[in-house]
């Protein structure tokens, strides 16, 4: 009997102890579970940043196709060569100096000029082990670099469209390289790198001003120094359209750009946060859709015929406009931004032509004007947004105008009239893009 009682007590004791033991085991396993979850989040976020970088890279194919399609066939090789070189120059200059000038660290926060370590030296200073784990951020140091490098190259690509069909190749490459290597990262530091505009509360989520308007101001300065294409404007002030040679290429380019914009804006969430990324996808899509629809309808009303190029640029206008606040606008405000940009881009193209500022692809209207419009819709401090737009505009334009005059004095800036009439493919490259057809 005594043995039975003892056994029963032992069984009861063991039974009561089981939850305690299980809790102890769970407590011991909790750190491992937390680390596992954190590692999974890190890997997911990092993968999304790299996918977004690849999508932004794809935008350069979109820019190439759009610019080629809206220009004459005889300049196709030249346009493709410029765009191919821009992505190379953008990545290399961002490696040499851009990344560390733009993100120098807390020591330089609040100022106008960053003094971060230059390229290879700056990268060497980073401890590889620390900067390839979740201890750096929700993504690695290298993911951060390549994503931001794609943005830098985009700013230079905008300039290419503005000056197409009459600029010398070498001067353009020199101009674009200096612009993206020096000016872009310094201006990027003002907001994204923790500079003076960041302290004031300026807001530009993914670059309506920092990328698009900065590129647009550079393009405007280059157009002023370069002049219009031969035959674009009559002596009586009339505008003579120089028709692009391939609307299919232009349309393909815009759809590639729209696709790439999901990386441009979606990646700027800087994580794979489901709520954040999905909202950005929706606001981006709505702004683009309304921009294209409204620009197309506006052209239909004004000219009695729907203009495909206006509809395509309307899509891009909506995309540029929403970029400053895609993460924070309601879906209804995204619609409003798209509508406004769709109307603005149409009348902006007309206005630039009246001012005899020859922009073959409408890049000034899309990137500069709608970049400004989108930035003014962003943030909750309208006065600060205005200050930011004016500051970026003044410095970008002054720098680009001075640089254009210097490059012109050293290298020349414009091809000869004979080369322009013959086509830059033959004049600059000695090869045509379409061997089965006579270049025109």
Segment 194-209, tens digit of pLDDT: 999 999 999 999 999 9
* 3-state secondary structure at position 352: helix
Q: Is residue 352 within 8 Å of residue 323, measured between CB atoms?
A: no
What is the rounded average pLDDT for all residues in the chain?
Answer: 89
Q: Distance (Å, rounded) from C-alpha 38 to C-alpha 49?
A: 17
Tokens of 274: 């489901």
Please give the pLDDT value at position 1. Answer: 57
pLDDT digits (tens, 9 = 90+) for 215-242: 999 999 999 999 999 999 988 878 998 9
* Segment 158-168 mean pLDDT: 96
Is pTM beyond 0.85? Reply is yes
Band of pLDDT at residue 3, cut at 50, 70 and 90 = low
Q: What letter does residue 430 receive in the DSSP assignment? A: S
Tokens of 216: 């647009």
Band of pLDDT at residue 129, cut at 50, 70 and 90 = very low
Q: Is the pLDDT of residue 118 over 60?
A: no
What whole-number percentage of the chain has pLDDT above 90? Answer: 76
Q: Is the pLDDT of residue 108 over 80?
A: no
Q: Is the pLDDT of residue 124 over 90?
A: no
What CA–CA distances, in Å, run from 381 to 103, 197, 310? 24, 12, 32
Please give the pLDDT value at position 16. Answer: 46
The residues, any chain, with a CB within 8 Å of residue 145's CB and separated by 6 or more, are 94, 95, 99
Query: In the block, which residue shows the tokens 């500079």?
Result: 195
Band of pLDDT at residue 435, cut at 50, 70 and 90 = confident
Please give the pLDDT value at position 85. Answer: 97
Query: In the block, which residue shows the tokens 């495909």?
Result: 308
pLDDT digits (tens, 9 = 90+) for 66-83: 999 999 999 999 999 999
- The residue ranking higher by pLDDT, 111 or 52, is 52
Please give the pLDDT value at position 100. Answer: 86
**Length in residues, the chain:** 440
Residue 231: name the closest of 315, 356, 344 by CA.
356
Q: Is the pLDDT of residue 307 over 80?
A: yes
Q: Does the domain made of 42-429 have the CATH classification 1.10.3430.10?
A: yes
Q: Distance (Å, rounded) from C-alpha 308 to C-alpha 109?
A: 46
Q: Is residue 370 within 8 Å of residue 353, measured between CB atoms?
A: no
Q: Distance (Å, rounded) from C-alpha 35 to C-alpha 137?
A: 15
């Amino acid at each position: 009997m005594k043995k039975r009682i003892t056994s029963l007590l032992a069984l009861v004791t063991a039974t009561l102890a089981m939850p305690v033991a299980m809790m102890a085991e769970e407590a011991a396993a909790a750190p491992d579970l937390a680390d596992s979850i954190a590692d999974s989040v890190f890997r997911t976020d990092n993968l999304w940043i790299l996918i977004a970088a690849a999508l932004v890279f794809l935008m350069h194919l979109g820019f190439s196709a759009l610019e080629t399609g809206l220009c004459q066939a005889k300049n196709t090789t030249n346009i493709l060569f410029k765009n191919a070189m821009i992505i190379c120059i953008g990545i290399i200059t961002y490696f040499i100096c851009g990344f560390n000038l733009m993100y120098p660290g807390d020591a330089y926060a609040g100022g106008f000029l960053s003094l971060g370590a230059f390229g290879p030296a700056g990268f060497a200073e980073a401890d590889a082990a620390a900067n390839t784990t979740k201890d750096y951020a929700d993504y690695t140091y290298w993911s951060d670099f390549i994503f931001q490098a794609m943005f830098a190259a985009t700013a230079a690509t905008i300039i290419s469209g503005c000056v197409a069909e009459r600029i010398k190749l070498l001067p353009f490459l020199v101009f674009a390289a200096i612009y993206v290597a020096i000016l872009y990262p310094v201006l990027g530091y003002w907001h994204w790198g923790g500079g003076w505009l960041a302290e004031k509360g300026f807001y530009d989520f993914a670059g309506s001003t920092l990328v698009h308007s900065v590129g647009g101001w550079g393009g405007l300065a280059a157009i002023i120094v370069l002049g219009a294409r031969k035959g674009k404007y009559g002596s009586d002030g009339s505008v003579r359209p120089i028709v692009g040679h391939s609307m299919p290429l232009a349309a393909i380019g815009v759809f590639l750009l729209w696709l790439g914009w999901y990386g441009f804006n979606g990646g700027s969430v800087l994580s794979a946060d489901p709520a954040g990324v999905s909202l950005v996808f929706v606001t981006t899509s709505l702004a683009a859709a309304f921009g294209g629809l409204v620009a197309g309808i506006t052209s239909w009303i004004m000219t009695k015929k729907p203009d495909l190029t206006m509809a395509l640029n309307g899509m891009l206008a909506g995309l540029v406009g929403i970029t400053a606040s895609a993460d924070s606008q309601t879906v209804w405000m995204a619609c409003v931004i798209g509508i406004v940009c769709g109307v603005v881009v149409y009348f902006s193209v007309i206005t630039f032509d009246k001012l005899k500022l020859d922009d073959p692809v409408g890049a000034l209207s899309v990137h500069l004007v709608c970049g400004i419009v989108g930035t003014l819709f962003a943030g909750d401090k309208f006065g600060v947004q205005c200050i930011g737009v004016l500051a970026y505009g003044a410095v970008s334009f002054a720098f680009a105008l001075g640089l254009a005059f210097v490059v012109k004095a050293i290298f020349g800036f414009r091809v000869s009239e004979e080369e322009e009439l013959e086509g830059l493919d033959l004049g600059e490259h000695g090869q045509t893009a379409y061997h089965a057809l006579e270049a025109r």
